[in-house]
Amino acid sequence: MNKEQKILIIQTAFIGDVILATSLVEHTRNQFPNAQIDFFLRKGNQSILETSPHITKLYIWDKSRGKIRSLIRLIKQVRSEKYDYVINIQRFFNSGLVTLLSGAKYKVGFHNNPLSFSFTHKIDHKIPFKHNDTYLHEVQRNQRLLSKMTSNFELLKDNELKPKIYFTDSDMTNVTKIKKDSGEYFVLAPASVWYTKQWHIERWKELIQKIGPMGTIYLIGAPTDHDYLSPLTLINDNVLNIAGKLSLRESALLMRDAKRVFVNDSAPLHLASSVNAKTTAIFCSTVPDFGYYPLSDNKAVIQVHPRLECMPCGLHGYKSCPLGHFKCSSEIKASDIIATI
């Protein structure tokens, strides 16, 4: 590729998906070192990519300012850039519309997108996706999109495609202040947007009781998680609820040097992967086969064994257990989690 060529990557899904998409940004840069790489994403997720040295321009879709009107305005901007390639990771209509109307020479995306008939190149996206007796991670599924753009494509191993976040001096300063004099510490992210992805709150309490003497415990999450996590601070004096006090990048930095990070199958899991944190991932209603397991070198995946017949009950999770018993969460023992330290 020469300097004049331009690539746009589209991922308008949730924050965890954008974190994983940074892996594709890295690999695209490795394959095409001279290309201009831009990124299209929804408002609220831009902090993950705004510090990347590989991204020239961010298109931020602000749905609060009129979902359709904002989308049309951004499509006009995209068309004016005259991209050579648009890589659409997302599989929904809106991202397909951006791709269709982008004016790009080559439109690369997944066959599952409802507007994929307009793409010049498309590949299958399956969840789970079994390949050579192993289940592909989402970063590998995304990486396969580049197979339509290069003649020397080779599917990399999942541990060669970790997501990547770049930090500022301010990020580092703020995290240093947070963990000042804390010594060894753990990071816990007990909350999730989906209730059935959450390990049972009583089990989190058991975990905190056991690891409390081993170091400071930081509870992280969104501002809306603060009240949910507050009861956990009553267990030990060294449990600090900092939900809502750190940015996404700062949360990842805090994870990086932790003695161990404990997460559900949710966005914090992928933050941990981005900094290669020592990670224990707890899967309740979902399963690692879906391709969202941790990518850290030191990792452990815990779930009910043997699997319940009702697992998995859905791709994302539910507000409550469809069968009412929620055994996929409550039957995971704290001792199994502690054993991963």
Give the lowest-confidence range in 15-24, 110-119, 157-166, 196-205: 157-166
pLDDT band at residue 159 using 50, 70 and 90 as cut-offs: confident
CATH 3.40.50.2000 residue ranges for the chain = 6-160, 171-338
Q: How confident is the model at residue 1 (pLDDT cuts 50, 70, 90)?
A: very low
Q: Which residue has the tokens 């498309």?
A: 122
pLDDT tens-digit profile of 161-194? 899 999 999 999 999 999 887 789 999 999 999 9
Helix, strand, coil content of the chain in percent (nearest 5) = 40, 20, 45
**Coil, helix or strand at residue 299:** strand
Q: Say what the pTM is.
A: 0.94
Superfamily of domain 6-160: Glycogen Phosphorylase B; (3.40.50.2000)
Reference 314, options 285, 281, 284, 283; nearest CA is 285
As its CATH architecture, domain 171-338 has 3-Layer(aba) Sandwich (3.40)
Q: pLDDT at position 66, please?
A: 85
Q: If pLDDT is split at 50, 70 and 90, which confidence band does 150 have?
A: confident
pLDDT tens-place string over residues 281-314: 999 999 999 999 999 999 999 999 999 999 999 8
178 with 63: CB under 8 angstroms? no
Predicted confidence band at 140 (pLDDT cuts at 50, 70, 90)?
Answer: very high
Q: How far apart are CA 255 and CA 77, in angstroms?
A: 37
User: Dihedral (C-alpha) 113, 104, 163, 138: value to the nearest 10 degrees?
Assistant: 20
- Write the pLDDT tens digit of every residue in 199-219: 999 999 999 999 999 999 999
Rounded distance between C-alpha atoms, residue 155 and residue 132, angstroms:
12
Residue 154 has a pLDDT of: 85
